[in-house]
Amino acid sequence: MSAVAEAHGGHDAHDHGAHPPTANASSRIHPVLLGIYLFLASEAMLFGSFFAAYYFARVDGSHGDTWPPEGYHLPVYLALLNTIILVTSSFTVHWAMQSIKREHRAGLIAGLGLTILLGLTFLLIQAREYTRLGFAVKDNAFATTFFGLTGLHGLHVFVGLNLLAYAFIRAWRGHYSAAHHHGVEVPGIYWHFVDVMWIIVYVTVYVI
């Protein structure tokens, strides 16, 4: 409120204030973190719908045939390697997070960089797996649900890599500090979610 506006006085001048009043913080959780947790709840349900479709096809659609159908094999050990890569990347992103909390900038950049490299490796291995599987989406319900679930997850890895890349650019330019690092924390939480989802996808599709 400038002095000029106060001179005109009264309620009217106040109505045109150029700045909003500061909102009351009625919860200890930061709005951005609550937002990403709710968003991930929504994402988990999206995966849920694909798991539902998977089990409908596997239990009700296959009429007691073997699953996977005769002649279909999945590269279980290659996918296990991928699992290890993704789990490792969860640790590296956690390292980045812990580094910035201690104002340790090099650790932040190295941690984010390693996470991005591991994520890219995961996607490349998955792409190579896709091209050498020997079956396509339209073959049968096994193939469709396989590509549906792993493809949905691959898309999330891609989105997560984008978010990490933005955080990396900003970290490289020296933006984050021990007090302000939501820009790292949100992609980090998202990345952990992608990781946990992969473990469920891996166990469902490849192992059992």
Partner 1 sequence: MATTVDQAHVEHEAPPKPPVRGLRRLMQPGWLRAAWVTAVTFGLVTGIICLIRWAGENGVASSEVWSLPVLISFWTIFVPIGFLVGLGAFDYWFYWISGRPTRPEDHSGHGADSWKDYFRVNTDHKVIGVQYLVTTFTFFLIAGVMAMFMRAELAEPGAQFVDTQTFNGLFSAHAGIMIFLFIVPVFAGFGNYVIPLMIGAPDMAFPRLNALSFWLLPIAGLIMLSGFLLPGGEYAAGWTNYPPLSDVNPVGNLMFQMGVQWAGASSILTALNFLVTIITMRAPGMTFWRLPLLVWANFTTSLLVVLATPFIAGSQFQLMLDRVAHGCFFDPTCGGYVVGYQHIFWFYSHPAVYIMILPGFGIVSEVIAAFARKPVFGYRLMAMSLVAILILGFSVWAHHMFVAGMAPWLRIPMMITTLLIAVPTGIKVFSWLATMWEGRIQFKTPMLWAVGFISMFVIGGLSGIYLGSVPIDIHASDTYFVVAHIHYVLFGGSVFTIFAAAYYWFPKMTGRMYNEQLGKLHFFLTFVAFNVTFFPQHYIGLRGMPRRVADYDPAFADWNLVSSIGSFVLGFATLIFVYNIIVSWRSGEPAPSNPWRALTIEWQVSSPPSKFNFDEIPQVVGGPYEYGVPGARHAVFNGDRVPAPEPARVEVGH
Candidate segments 31-39, 89-97, 98-106, 121-129, binder of partner 1 by CB under 8 A: 31-39
CB of 113 to partner 1, least distance (A): 15
Torsion of CA 37, 42, 46, 52, to 10 degrees: 100
List own/partner pairs for 28-35 with CB under 8 A and 24 or more apart: 30/182, 32/182, 32/186, 33/182, 33/185, 33/186, 33/189
134 binds partner 1 (CB under 8 A): no
Rule CB under 8 A: say whether 117 interacts with partner 1. Answer: no
The Cα angle at residue 52 between residues 47 and 55, in degrees rounded to 5:
125
Q: Which of residues 148-167 bind partner 1 (CB under 8 A)?
A: 148, 166
Shortest CA distance to 195 belongs to which of 65, 87, 33?
87
Of the residues 103, 106, 123, 169, which one makes contact with partner 1 according to CB under 8 A: 169
Binding of residue 170 to partner 1 (CB under 8 A): yes
Q: How far is the CB of 51 from partner 1 (least distance, A)?
A: 9
What residues contact 190, with CB distance under 8 A and at least 6 apart? 36, 40, 159, 160, 163
Would you say 184 and 100 are in contact if contact means Cβ atoms under 8 Å apart?
A: yes
Q: Which stretch binds partner 1 (CB under 8 A): 14-22, 72-80, 108-116, 191-199?
A: 14-22
CA distance linking residue 16 with residue 64, whole number of Å: 71
Among 70, 73, 77, 138, which residue sits at the site for partner 1 (rule: CB under 8 A)? Answer: 138
The token pair that represents 198 in the structure block: 């992969």
Q: How many CB atoms lie within 10 A of CB 203?
A: 11
Q: Is 43 in the site for partner 1 (CB under 8 A)?
A: yes
Closer residue to partner 1 in complex, CB, 20/71? 20
Does the footprint of partner 1 cover residue 34 (CB under 8 A)? yes
Site residues, partner 1 (CB under 8 A)? 2, 4-5, 8, 11-27, 29-31, 34-35, 38-39, 41-43, 45-46, 48-50, 52-53, 56-57, 60-62, 65, 69, 137-145, 147-148, 166, 169-170, 172-173, 175
